[in-house]
Amino acid sequence: MSIMTAAVIGTIVYWVIYVLDPYIISWQCLNRPIVIAPVLGLLLGDFQTGIIMGAALESIFMGISAIGGQIPADALSATVVSVSYTILTGADAETGLAIALPIGTVMASVNSMFMSLWSAMAPYWEKLAVSGKPNKFLTHNLIFSCIISPIPGALVMFFGLAFGVTGLNNALAALPPFVMAGLGAASGMMIAIGFAILTSMIWSKEVGCFFFVGYVMSKILGMDSLSIAIIGAAIAITMFFREKSMIDMKKELMAAGVQSDDGEEDFF
């Protein structure tokens, strides 16, 4: 597959996901790397690499969240560029992961820059909303959301893939071996950092013990991820129904207590 064809495919995937996920179906997580990478890999002819890259990139970006509307790194653009680069050049996954976060950070800055421009149109949208013409408001909103808003990012995606992949590949090929080894180590560390950020968000004394149980099962007992996931799912389902039964029991006791009090009051 030619680089120009891949650039068109990558740009279309970026455009469709950019529009479909937040604007059409309202944040259904289609813009996550674990979804985008396999789709892009399938379209570019290397589904296996897409799956591997999607799982690794999701491990990096799943702990990154938008605080106050500020996105520290754009997972969508990072996934499109890194997966396309890995498949087109035949590079290893570690190299693709190493360039993902810098690209995502740059694209987040670009999106923030244009977000200020889009915010300047708020008076126009307010005027259109109070005009009493909902069809006109909907039409203008769809045109802006589906056509105008994705243009800056799509242009960056297209020109970056069409003219930047070859140059990036040549630049990385010219680097000394120890630099490439460092990039590989850094990509592995980013996955660990992503897990650490996510763990810090959900950590509690009630579930903290399962982290160490999973570590022992993986590193000491040598169990594969699927087996650990099945055991974890079984434990989670058991705890869910146990807590649910306890809540139902408390409700029954409360209801019985209220009825008993009412009967006592009626007797006297």
Q: For 177-232, write each residue's pLDDT tens digit.
A: 777 677 667 666 766 666 676 677 677 777 778 878 888 888 888 888 788 888 88
26-42 pLDDT, tens digit per residue, is 666 777 888 888 998 89
Distances (CA, A) of 130 to 71, 123, 126, 133, 139: 31, 11, 6, 8, 15
| Residue 243 tokens, joined | 């807590």
pTM of the model: 0.64
- Residue among 76, 12, 82 at smallest CA distance from 50: 82
Distances (CA, A) of 11 to 35, 148, 268: 16, 15, 78
Q: What are phi and psi of 62, to 5 degrees?
A: -70, -20
Q: Are 88 and 46 in contact (CB under 8 A)?
A: no
| Residue 15 tokens, joined | 């455009």
Pick the most confident of 42-46, 70-74, 195-199: 42-46
Q: Are 39 and 118 in contact (CB under 8 A)?
A: no
